[in-house]
Amino acid sequence: MKKILCTMLSLLMLAPATSFASYESNHTAHVSPPYHAYYNGDPNWPIIWGHQGYAGYMDRSSVVILKDDEQGIKFAYRAIGINFNHQPPEVSGYGTTWFYKPWSEPDIAYVKYKENGQWYRFRISDKYGYNRSRRQGFLLGWEIAKGTEYHVGVTQAQ
């Protein structure tokens, strides 16, 4: 028992040393170095995600609703990737991300990264690391496109 407690205490002490960033749908970004809530301090470029020295930032002004009907909503936005492992930080990529949210499935959305690319299904409620950029990109994009927070697992007003 003592060994387990010591191990857990050691792991808890290491946790603050890990840098992370995440967008939360209550209009705040939780960031730790080297990330910033906004790229170059510009509120038009909020952070979507950050991990291991890399971060994604959304161009808020690029969010566009492509379809919003009785079947679902489709929207897209432009984003850039920043490599904070270089000094000064540099743009490591850019592109458009598309999301489709069918009304029939409250916890499911689809994402694609190329205009004619494949749609990838994901659970909006899934907070695991592999899903973080999709989830947070969807939540922030939804909030900007619709002007309201997305409530996971609840049927949204159309």
| Residue 67 forms part of a structural domain | yes
Mean pLDDT of the chain: 82
| Residue 14 forms part of a structural domain | no
The reported pTM is 0.77
Nearest CA to 142 out of 129, 158, 126, 127 is that of 158
Structurally, the chain folds into a number of domains equal to 1
Range of the domain at 104: 19-146
At 79-113, the pLDDT tens digits run 999 999 988 989 999 999 999 999 999 899 999 99
| Residue 5 forms part of a structural domain | no
| Residue 40 forms part of a structural domain | yes
* Cα 79-83-86 angle, rounded to 5 deg: 150
| Residue 155 forms part of a structural domain | no
Below-50 pLDDT ranges, the chain: 4-20, 22-28
| Residue 34 forms part of a structural domain | yes
Residue with tokens 């950050």, as numbered in its chain: 50
